[in-house]
Homo-oligomer: A and B are copies of this chain.
Amino acid sequence: MAKDSGIKLREDDYSQWYLDVIREGKLADYSPVKGCMVLRPHGFALWDAMKCDLDRRFKETGHVNAYFPMFIPMSFLSKEAEHVEGFAKECAVITHHRLRSTTDENGKVSVEVDPHAKLEEPLIVRPTSETIIWHMYGKWIDSHRDLPLLINQWANVVRWELKTRPFLRTTEFLWQEGHTAHAYKDEAVEEAERMLHVYTDFARDFLAIPVVPGLKSAGERFAGAVETYTIEAMMQNGWALQSGTSHFLGQNFAKAFDVTFQSKEGKRELVWATSWGVSTRLVGAVIMTHSDDVGLVLPPTMAPVQVVIIPIWRKDHEKEVVIEFADKMNEQLKAAGIRVKVDDRDSIKPGAKYWEWERKGVCLRMEVGPRDVKGGSAFSKKRTGGDKFGIPLEGAAETVRGILDDMQAELLAKATELRDSRTHQVDTYAEFKTQLKEKGGWYKVFWHADEAAEDQIKTETKATIRCYPIGEQELPEGAVCFYSGKPATHLAIFARAY
């Protein structure tokens, strides 16, 4: 099966399987620009669905959208010392603002950079927008009445990566970045935590991904943050994928850009900040969490097409009958808010259609042949497996809604079971190394925070601290670090990660 399908089996080559699923599902394609991908319509629709649901959640929590320039003066980056360390090495730099074209004797046109059009100060393409946004906040914030300022931006950003992988790590990617400004420290911390919970809920309820929310270790913090919160998802190979982050930035950017406000007590004070973001990487998370050896599997919440109806006929008089039935089914499901499509192309055979729609992750397929019409029901198959079964036209919307809801729950349950069954507890570093090598997965350990030790573990095992999971930080008395034997400061999850 997998051999003919053009999709590698997961157990044979997980990395290649991922790329195959993307290609066969027509989700993305490589572009002529190194590290940049094209989001094909089906892949873009997945991001758009996420965007739509997230945007609603952001608005419900009081945020508004805005748009800031994607170019940032080079000098801005150096205003926050840690920030520049984090991003200087991966910036796309604009140095000129014009090309000049020449035509040779054969009429062939060529272009080159116009040396007379050099910018006085180079610009970088935003790798993230803290600097330019805090420059603007300096203009907009003057009084406690201007706070809090709760702004989100949907945008493209660029980080020049050497090793790229579709969705997971690309030079340009799409994301949202929330940037909020607050009068009080507590309020900013609360905001950073609130958005972590928004992401956690969204991942669970919309993506059917049971992420673990937690705090990053000092070494894994965002460049410029005081604390970084993260949601971590387990992929089917047992690796972790950092799927979203929320940062409490303290007053670092307010200091760097001199953003103060007049407090209610009449004093000038520095503003407190957060930022938080998720990106098209989440599309990769969904693919890796739910798909199988046949191709893409999508949670019904985010499937652009939830149900495909495929009319099947041989003779012309049959065609009329099956199309009529398919249309009735289509109308009923559509009226119930189900995303449904009738695939009545006559240039392609039914088998090829099944093949195509399976690879695109359509949740439910309905086959409608002359015999099905007579029986008054559509011969159906769930993308997640099981035998084919009839769905009567009468009451179909309700039946389908039930199937989709169940599928959503099943996918979340399956992913949760995988995560839990592959999350292990170990007491010693020796155990950890052996088990990680043998069976992979995540490891919950008692840990004494220590950046040097963290680096050493990474060098030896390629595993890193994914997070200090929230709600699990009340350590038993006497808990000691699995690595150093020192008194434990945290419960940490160690794992290989993308």
Contact = CB atoms under 8 A, between A and B. Distances in A.
A453 interface: no
A239 interface: no
A81 interface: yes
A179 to B, nearest CB: 12
A130 to B, nearest CB: 14
Interface string A27-60: 0010111001111110111011000000000000
A88 interface: yes
A121 to B, nearest CB: 10
A92 B71 contact: yes
A65 B93 contact: no
Interface size, A (range)? 35 or more
A56 B101 CA distance: 40
A90 B117 CA distance: 10
A139 B31 CA distance: 10
Contacts of A123: 33, 92
A132 B72 contact: no
Contacts of A124: 99
Contacts of A81: 109
Interface string A115-134: 00000001111000000100
A46 to B, nearest CB: 11
A52 to B, nearest CB: 10
Contact of A69 (B33, B71, B112): B33
A218 interface: no
A66 interface: yes
26 contacts: A29-B140, A36-B69, A36-B71, A38-B66, A41-B65, A44-B64, A44-B66, A44-B67, A45-B64, A45-B65, A48-B65, A67-B174, A71-B171, A74-B113, A75-B110, A81-B109, A88-B101, A92-B97, A92-B123, A93-B94, A93-B95, A93-B97, A95-B96, A98-B160, A145-B347, A156-B156
